[in-house]
Amino acid sequence: MLLRRSRSVSSLQTNVVRPLFSSSSEPQTTLPSSSLGSACPVEDSSTTGSSSCSPGILNSPHGSCRKSALQKSLFLASAHDFAKNSCWGSPSTLSSVAWRTHDFGGLRLLGTQAAVEASTSDGLTVDRILSNQWPILDENESDWKSHATAISQSINLIKRRLQWKKLLVRLQLLSAQLEKPDIWDDPAHAGRISREQGSLMSKMKQVVAFERELLEHIDMIKLAREENDSDLELDSLNALLRMRRISKEKELEALLAGEQDSCSCYIEVQAGAGGTESMDWAAMVMQMYRLWAQGRGYGITVVDEMLGDVAGIKRATIKVDGEYAFGYAKSEVGVHRLVRISPFDSNKRRHTSFAAVAVIPITGDGSTHVQINESDLRIDRFRAGGAGGQHVNTTESAVRIVHIPTGITVTCQNERSQHQNKASAMAVLQSRLDQLEKARQTQMNMEHTQSLTDNSWGNQIRSYVMHPYRMVKDLRTNFEVSNPDSVLNGDIDGFIMSYLSASVDKDGDSQ
């Protein structure tokens, strides 16, 4: 079996369209030169025709490598490490995928992968599959054309979501920058470039690998038919079915392809005007996020909480720790409106209240790291009046930091020491300033037509109606649900996903 496979694989063709990333003299130089040492098995493998290609290409189709590769690349310190880990993988990765080793002929130049349009031995490509307009049948129907079409559609959608063409151009730009011999003179800058390049590269390679795998299985099916090998045909058909299922997951993953999407984040909720009723609403909104985050297995820490006098909260900030917390939660930014008979109104009148939600990514990798001047800060610490020092024992340790130039104010009171409250207030301030800076840069680059700032404070995004009818409706996507209780119990993924796909797919189409 194995033998046969390798034979069939060697019949795969690739049409080199345009070597996007190769420079004229040294095609490999998309990598920092220091990385081309012994860690690189590619030259050998291609010449012997038996060994492996870059593990990036051979990524497991289950998508599990993606996150870890992404994560790894985020923490890489040097160009050397970077190249070793995120381009070539560790030896163990190589062996674990060795069963699918094959040679893509002209593909050993890393940079050219994306520009090469993969095809089957008889010239079938993803585009051509789609143009055939084969009907998509139910998953249970063992029809390879149907599977292939469904998978191809997903690949197309994923590419659109990733802004494929932009991604390739950006990748080329970054790789060119990394080639410069003096790039590491400024390690912070180089680190940023190399991180971004690594993350884009890994995204690109996943899609390319997925595409290749599709075509490979199609080739295999054709071969099996030629040779009347029904085992092989069934194997390959099942492989396609597996891919078809995975492709749905990959579509979702591609929604969270933004640079900061994988970050943890802060979620802030602030009550609008309207006293106790709106403070109670703010507390309900915060509870909704806590439950949502809990359900997703994220870590939750209360950073700050200012309780209402009678009930609810005036405002609160929680830190949500976990992969893609920001990517999802960013969809919640804006004003949330509640209509109900207020339990705080003795006349049982209907009230409308508002709560504003802000979501701040915790970038942590220093990609946008605003330098904070101590002299720009006013730090207030609350404590009982009087002489202070030995005279007073209080557990009050709240700290408020005002960043004078921007007017951003952060309060933290949930830690048990003032020092810690100051530290977490500074962390929130840092993330806020980073976000502000990011938004400024984004506006400057005109990269995104719709940035977070567009729909932050002041923009109503969702309406929760308890009376006279019951419904939650997102005003951006018109996604609606008739059971407010389940939504308030944290079941907001429907809203998040519909918003994400609406905004990302719109962006993708417009390019």
- Contacts to another protein by CB under 8 A: 290, 307, 379, 381, 383-397, 413, 415-420, 423
Strands in 225-376 per DSSP E: 264-271, 299-307, 313-321, 334-341, 350-362
Give the number of residues written for the chain.
511
Nearer to another protein, 248 or 381 (CB): 381
Q: Nearest 5°: phi and psi at 75?
A: -110, 15
Whichever of 2 and 387 has its CB closer to another protein, that residue is 387
Measured from the CB atom, the residue of 228 and 395 that comes closer to another protein is 395
Q: How many CB atoms lie within 10 A of CB 134?
A: 17
Q: How many CA atoms lie within 13 A of 403 on its CB side?
A: 20
Q: Which of 358, 357, 355 is nearest to 271 (CA)?
A: 355
Q: What six digits make up the tokens of 229?
A: 């090998």
Q: Which two tokens stand for residue 58?
A: 């051979």
From the CB of 177, what's the least distance to another protein, in Å? 35
Query: Which residue number, 39 or 427, has a Cβ lying nearer to another protein?
Result: 427
Residue closer to another protein, measured from CB, 82 or 292: 292
3-state secondary structure 411-425: EECCCCCHHHHHHHH
- The least distance separating another protein from the CB of residue 14, rounded to whole angstroms, comes to 53
Task: Give 220 or 429: the residue with its C-beta nearer to another protein.
Answer: 429
Convert 351-415 into a string of H (helix), E (strand) and C (coil): EEEEEEEEEEEECCCCCCCCCCCHHHEEEEECCCCCCCHHHCCCCCCCEEEEECCCCEEEEECCC
Residue the block writes with tokens 């034979």: 7
Q: Which is nearer to another protein, 447 or 491 (CB)?
A: 491
CB of 296 to another protein, least distance (A): 15
In the complex, the smallest distance separating the C-beta of residue 262 from another protein, rounded to whole angstroms, is 25
Cβ 27 to another protein shortest distance, Å: 48
Which strand (E) or helix (H) includes residue 472? strand 471-474
From the CB of 318, what's the least distance to another protein, in Å?
A: 11
- Three-class SS state of 269: strand
CB 326 to another protein: min, Å: 22
